[in-house]
């Protein structure tokens, strides 16, 4: 480093903080004018984390940052101290990384406390299919979500042709295979193409890695063209996750409501259904499926409104409520909050956050010899 090189980590001369430029955030959190830091008020936190006198920022001292660990706490922070501390911090991080147990590439048998997110897509993130699932799993790790159920590739198409459906399912299969066992796939279908849908179930579920069916908005689910698809799903003992919504502005022509799903479920008592979003307008949505014991309410996609999970548990029982987030269109944290903050028992939360969807998937997991 020569005399004209800027000091590391944005520090200037020993013991001095760098000037803030126009549009940067000052120590008090506000935007500053060019070259000026906003004055700190009495009792506010200064740049080094200590309380300041009125209008004064405390000098940066060694010991206030991990990079200068080992220096006397009262000594001024110099470039030499920062460089020496940074080297020690890097070495320490390497030791921690070497001894910290990594998350297993192939998960072991799940515990009852594992969180499984039952609703998500490869959207909301960018890159290749592999990069997208890597990023989604990275975000899931921040809030301790163990497994992601993924369906539909990209770009989304409201009424996809069989070739488009196959392409998107191939994208999901790639994500599942790349995830080391942490992502599970549902096969996406357009029921307008009944024969192609049956072939795709066989390709992706019977002969492939997928574990359920995803239906979106190509055709309303009470239509007779869905009956052969539901019958095939029941034979394989796999659940059908159906998008249901009730919009004040009017649904898409092929968009199903909770009442449509209840009508389909009434015709197929031996099949298992998941009402995705539970209709968006969740109070009438929960009531619409209440009489159909083979339909579970999945709570993703809407804002984290208080009372949603409580009503679902009260009206349906905790065994018929499933957590999903609708990643990457919705954040994991906002959707988890619906369950974490609900006034229901801890046992109910355990079922909602993973126990129920694991129970629904157990027959197909066992059939495939998957120990999850």
- With tokens 């394989």, the residue in question is 236
| pLDDT mean over 235-249 | 97
Look at 6 and 330; give whichever has higher pLDDT: 330
pLDDT tens for 316-361 read: 999 999 999 999 999 999 999 999 999 999 999 999 999 999 999 9
| pLDDT mean over 81-89 | 45
pLDDT at 26 over 60: no
Distance of CA 78 to the CA centre of its chain: 43
- Residue 16: pLDDT band (50, 70, 90) is very low
* Alpha helix ranges (H) inside 157-281: 162-178, 194-201, 227-236, 258-267
Question: How high is the pLDDT of residue 270?
Answer: 98
Question: How high is the pLDDT of residue 5?
Answer: 42
Average pLDDT, the chain: 80
CATH 1.10.10.10 fits 116-368, yes or no: no
pLDDT tens for 172-213 read: 999 999 999 999 999 999 999 999 999 999 999 999 999 999
Distance of CA 23 to the CA centre of its chain: 33
DSSP letter (8 states) at residue 37: P
pLDDT tens for 92-104 read: 333 333 333 344 4
Distance CA 256, CA 222 (A): 8
pLDDT at 23 over 80: no
294 CB burial (10 A radius; 0-12, 13-18, 19+): middle
Look at 299 and 44; give whichever has higher pLDDT: 299
Closest by CA to 114, choosing from 320, 349, 364, 369, is: 349
pLDDT tens for 282-319 read: 999 999 999 999 999 999 988 888 899 999 999 999 99
Closest by CA to 116, choosing from 345, 371, 332, 348, is: 332
Question: How high is the pLDDT of residue 302?
Answer: 83
* Alpha helix ranges (H) inside the chain: 79-99, 129-142, 162-178, 194-201, 227-236, 258-267, 282-289, 308-316, 332-340, 346-350, 356-368
Helix (H, G, I), strand (E, B) or coil at 366: helix
């Amino acid at each position: 480093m020569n005399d004209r090189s800027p000091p590391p980590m944005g520090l200037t001369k020993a013991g001095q903080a760098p000037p803030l430029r126009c549009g940067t955030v000052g120590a008090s959190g506000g935007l500053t004018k060019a070259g000026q830091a906003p004055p700190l008020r009495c009792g506010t936190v200064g740049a080094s984390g200590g309380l300041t006198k009125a209008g004064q920022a405390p000098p940066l001292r060694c010991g206030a940052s991990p990079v200068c660990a080992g220096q006397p706490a009262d000594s001024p922070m110099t470039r030499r101290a920062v460089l020496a501390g940074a080297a020690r911090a890097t070495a320490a991080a390497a030791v921690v990384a070497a001894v910290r147990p990594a998350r297993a590439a192939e998960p072991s048998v799940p515990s009852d406390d594992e969180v499984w997110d039952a609703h998500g897509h490869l959207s909301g993130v960018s890159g290749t299919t592999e990069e997208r699932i890597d990023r989604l799993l990275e975000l899931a790790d921040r809030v301790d979500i163990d497994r992601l159920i993924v369906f539909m590739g990209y770009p989304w198409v409201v009424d996809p042709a069989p070739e488009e459906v196959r392409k998107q399912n191939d994208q999901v299969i790639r994500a599942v295979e790349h995830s080391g066992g942490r992502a599970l796939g549902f096969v996406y279908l357009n029921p307008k193409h009944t024969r192609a849908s049956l072939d795709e179930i066989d390709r992706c579920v019977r002969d492939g890695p997928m574990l359920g069916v995803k239906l979106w908005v190509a055709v309303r689910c009470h239509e007779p063209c869905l009956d052969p698809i539901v019958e095939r799903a029941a034979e394989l003992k796999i659940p059908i996750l159906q998008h249901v919504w009730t919009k004040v502005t009017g649904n898409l022509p092929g968009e199903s409501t909770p009442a449509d799903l209840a009508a389909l479920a009434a015709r197929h008592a031996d099949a298992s259904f998941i009402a995705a979003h539970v209709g968006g307008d969740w109070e009438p949505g929960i009531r619409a499926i209440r009489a159909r014991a083979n339909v579970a309410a999945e709570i993703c996609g809407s804002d984290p409104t208080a009372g949603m999970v409580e009503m679902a548990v009260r009206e349906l029982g905790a065994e018929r409520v499933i957590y999903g987030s609708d990643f990457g269109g919705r954040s994991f944290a906002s959707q988890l909050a619906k369950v974490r903050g609900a006034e229901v028992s801890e046992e109910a939360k355990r079922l909602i956050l993973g126990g129920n969807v694991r129970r629904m998937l157990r027959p197909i997991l066992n059939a495939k010899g998957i120990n999850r």
